[in-house]
Amino acid sequence: MPELLVDVATRIVVPVTALPGPEAGEPCEDTFALEALGHVFVTSLRIWAQAGPDTRSELPPT
């Protein structure tokens, strides 16, 4: 099931956050930030899916 979530997120996030084509003009700084954010999100999901959804890190005591 985690692999399905990663696949669905990739199919949605990557096209939405991808850099526009040359016909859209010069991309602005926000465009590059959005693309980077999409990559970070999808990569985080992939790492989570590989580690297993039940894996969690222990938080340090407060």
Residue type, 44: S
The pLDDT profile of the chain, 62 residues, written as one tens digit per residue, is 778 888 888 888 888 877 777 777 777 777 888 888 888 888 888 888 888 767 666 666 76
- Residue 22 CA: distances (Å) to CA of 19, 25, 32: 9, 6, 14
Residue 25 φ/ψ region, left for φ over 0, alpha for ψ in the -120 to 50 degree band, beta for the rest: left
Predicted TM-score (pTM) of the model is: 0.65
